[in-house]
Chain A
């Protein structure tokens, strides 16, 4: 019953708050337009007769919205103010959901409208000859920001009060993380994308050839204003929310510390995944453009003029998202230095690592086979070096150059960790290895079938063409690279199995111990136990009271020597 009551009260309050905000913004914007109109007459300003409907609607929304919101929220808050259920109410999932939903929606509205406001202000400052941005353009975002800021601060105050009464843990802490990391991610993506746009604009401004003329330069002015506003507001939003997340990380004695948060790891690896994908892809595009121009130069068909536009988007994307990738990679490395990493957190890190390895490995393999085939083709059929052949060689070389460090870097770390693991490799490692084995075997199969098909066609009298030579070279090189991959990954798998059987026996023979463990929280004991079990150990936990502990310590030599002695 109490849950149904909370759902009704808070859901109604949330909807009514939206209606009230719409009405208040409408009224505020209308009042601001009237004031502006009296100071400087505005072209196309609606008359009072036209505005009656707008004012009536906004007033009705504001009035009804505020009354309904205030009434329902008062009822909901009353439970938390006093009485037996006060503590339960303050920590209730629905209350936290309402509060953090309002904070998240408010922050996102502030982000988008802040971008509009700053963008229009910059455009006005730079000068807009076409008259697309006027002072009126500032009114709506300003009104929305004002109303949302007041309501956002009110809800933040309620949350802080709740935290002072009862520390946030479990579902409440999870919802806070959804809000904090969700907003950080959105703001960061906006900032990185806008930085790309700004870098590209600078690049285009600087690289306009001398014998050129520019038509409609105002379009670029507006693009700059929008991107500058997005970068400024996005980076400010990210910096504030990320610093707040860092502050939570420093509270190591909290009931639900950030160091054990799975959502934090999800955020970090999501940012790393996006950063790695965009950076590697665009670094590859830029490298491909450079290689293509260089190789074409060798055969006298270089088109250096088309290089600049090819680089203009790829390089800025690689730089902006590359910085984001580097920074978060550094954060992950620092956090990995922590003594404890929970199973779920480790699982997310390993999934990311093996996924990047897989993508890098596939790129490395495809690139190696394609480059080798294209090079042999050029050597065997030198007269056939067309632009298409050069582009093919360039593309495969790029895939190879990008894929090799991506795979090697991740795989090196994963291999080092796998050697220290006891009691079998994680599931994700086995999945990776079997995918690598399966892909290698299938490549061998298809290459073999294709080569045989060409050979049989030739034997049946089909004339052998240059294209057949190119195809059979590709099939042969693919088979060769696939064989190497197959041999290497089979070796890794066999060593993993050997290590697993070695350690399972060794545990029984070598390490037999009684540990006296004092855990602050039950969850800590569970984590500690799980870590030992994960590395192949067998743990039996017997809770003890103080008297029994003292008795046991007397029986075990050295057990009573204090912390760290066991």
Chain B
């Protein structure tokens, strides 16, 4: 006699025995939380937050970006090369020298990195990371935008040759 439906066994669950993979996922998730909080809390891991040397390429771009994000166009303009200043003045002819609607986005992290440097030219990359207010499904919730800033030496001082418009680094 064939018995149907009386001897079902559970799906390999092996009652009483802990599922190690399941436990590893749960424990690993909580370990990740601890490591992440520690990574952000540890000052050495989140990069230098003190202002860099203002005479260095990174320092010039840092000053330019800070001025742009603060809406201070005259200060931002002072970091540009002579040619770039002329171009900016032509482009903004008749406009007031201020970025009226510039506002600092506190949900945005900005990293200014030196890519290359030679005696008379430098390339600096500004990476904006904007974090979502909530965790969005299937996304890390962080959006990146990078702007490459070209610098030249004018009278022994680093000046920005491109981009000329501070608005490109305001947000």
Binding site for B on A (CB under 8 A): 115, 122, 126, 130, 132, 189-191, 193-202, 204-206, 208-209, 211-228, 230-232, 235, 239, 242, 246, 249-250, 252, 257, 259, 274, 278, 305-306, 309, 312-313, 316-317, 323, 326-327, 330-331, 334-335, 337-340, 515-521, 523-525, 527-528, 562-566
Check if A517 sits within 8 Å of B37, measured CB to CB.
Answer: no
Which segment of B43-51, B76-84, B150-158 sits at the interface? B43-51
Shortest Cβ distance from B116 into A: residue? A305
* CA distance in complex: A516, B40 (Å): 69
Known: A214-B111, A220-B109. A198 touches B1 (CB 8 A): no
Taking a contact as CB atoms closer than 8 A, the residue among A197, A323, A519 that contacts B142 in the complex is A197
Between A and B, 14 residue pairs with Cβ closer than 8 Å are A126-B37, A195-B29, A199-B140, A211-B114, A212-B111, A219-B107, A223-B142, A227-B141, A252-B8, A313-B139, A316-B140, A338-B8, A517-B1, A518-B4
Contacts of A239 in B (CB 8 A): 22, 26
* CA distance in complex: A528, B6 (Å): 13
A255 to chain B, nearest CB (A): 11
Shortest Cβ distance from B146 into A: residue? A309
Which segment of B58-66, B91-99, B159-167 sits at the interface? B58-66
B19 to chain A, nearest CB (A): 8
Chain B positions 1-28 with a Cβ under 8 Å from a chain A Cβ: 1-13, 15, 19, 21-22, 25-26
Check if B114 sits within 8 Å of A223, measured CB to CB.
Answer: no
Known: A198-B32, A309-B146. A222 touches B107 (CB 8 A): yes
Known: A190-B135, A219-B129. A235 touches B107 (CB 8 A): no
Check if B13 sits within 8 Å of A213, measured CB to CB.
Answer: no
Known: A191-B29, A193-B138. A519 touches B5 (CB 8 A): yes
Taking a contact as CB atoms closer than 8 A, the residue among A202, A518, A564 that contacts B35 in the complex is A202
The reply on B75 being an interface residue by CB < 8 A is no
B12 to chain A, nearest CB (A): 3
* CA distance in complex: A217, B40 (Å): 9
Check if B141 sits within 8 Å of A338, measured CB to CB.
Answer: no
* CA distance in complex: A126, B33 (Å): 13
Taking a contact as CB atoms closer than 8 A, the residue among B25, B104, B125 that contacts A327 in the complex is B25
Contacts of B129 in A (CB 8 A): 204, 219-220
B84 to chain A, nearest CB (A): 22
Chain B positions 100-153 with a Cβ under 8 Å from a chain A Cβ: 104, 106-115, 125, 127, 129, 131, 133-142, 144, 146
Binding site for A on B (CB under 8 A): 1-13, 15, 19, 21-22, 25-26, 29-30, 32-33, 35-37, 39-41, 45-52, 58, 62, 65-66, 104, 106-115, 125, 127, 129, 131, 133-142, 144, 146
Contacts of A338 in B (CB 8 A): 8-9, 11-12
* CA distance in complex: A566, B1 (Å): 5
Check if B108 sits within 8 Å of A219, measured CB to CB.
Answer: yes
Query: What are the 7 A-B residue pairs with the smallest beta carbon separation, nearest first?
Result: A334-B12, A524-B5, A335-B11, A208-B47, A214-B47, A223-B131, A215-B110
Check if A214 sits within 8 Å of B1, measured CB to CB.
Answer: no
Shortest Cβ distance from A521 into B: residue? B5
Check if B45 sits within 8 Å of A205, measured CB to CB.
Answer: yes
Check if A193 sits within 8 Å of B139, measured CB to CB.
Answer: yes
A1 to chain B, nearest CB (A): 37
Contacts of B8 in A (CB 8 A): 252, 257, 259, 338-340
Taking a contact as CB atoms closer than 8 A, the residue among B2, B29, B48, B140 that contacts A200 in the complex is B140
Taking a contact as CB atoms closer than 8 A, the residue among A193, A202, A339, A519 that contacts B137 in the complex is A193
B38 to chain A, nearest CB (A): 9
* CA distance in complex: A565, B91 (Å): 94
Contacts of A219 in B (CB 8 A): 106-109, 129, 131
Check if A198 sits within 8 Å of B138, measured CB to CB.
Answer: no
Known: A193-B135, A228-B37, A309-B127. A212 touches B47 (CB 8 A): yes
Contacts of B131 in A (CB 8 A): 219-220, 222-223, 226
Contacts of A211 in B (CB 8 A): 58, 113-114
Check if B138 sits within 8 Å of A278, measured CB to CB.
Answer: yes
Check if A213 sits within 8 Å of B137, measured CB to CB.
Answer: no
* CA distance in complex: A209, B46 (Å): 10
Shortest Cβ distance from B107 into A: residue? A219
* CA distance in complex: A327, B19 (Å): 10
Known: A126-B40, A202-B35, A259-B10. A216 touches B135 (CB 8 A): no
Known: A122-B37, A212-B111, A259-B11. 18 other contacts (CB 8 A): A204-B129, A209-B113, A213-B50, A220-B46, A226-B133, A228-B33, A231-B33, A232-B33, A235-B25, A250-B10, A252-B8, A259-B8, A259-B10, A313-B142, A515-B2, A524-B5, A563-B1, A563-B2
Contacts of A214 in B (CB 8 A): 46-49, 109-112
Contacts of A563 in B (CB 8 A): 1-3
Kindly name the residue among B33, B45, B106, B113 whose own CB sees the greatest number of chain A CB atoms within 10 A. Answer: B33
A181 to chain B, nearest CB (A): 14
Shortest Cβ distance from A340 into B: residue? B8
Shortest Cβ distance from B1 into A: residue? A563
Contacts of B133 in A (CB 8 A): 226
* CA distance in complex: A305, B41 (Å): 26
* CA distance in complex: A205, B65 (Å): 21
Shortest Cβ distance from A201 into B: residue? B36
Check if A228 sits within 8 Å of B12, measured CB to CB.
Answer: no
B115 to chain A, nearest CB (A): 6
Contacts of A205 in B (CB 8 A): 39-40, 45-47
Contacts of B135 in A (CB 8 A): 115, 190, 193-194, 197, 226-227, 230
Known: A231-B33, A337-B11. A201 touches B39 (CB 8 A): yes
Contacts of B104 in A (CB 8 A): 216
A47 to chain B, nearest CB (A): 29
Contacts of A246 in B (CB 8 A): 13, 19
Contacts of A250 in B (CB 8 A): 10, 13, 15
Contacts of A191 in B (CB 8 A): 29
Contacts of A218 in B (CB 8 A): 106
* CA distance in complex: A317, B7 (Å): 41
Contacts of B30 in A (CB 8 A): 232, 235
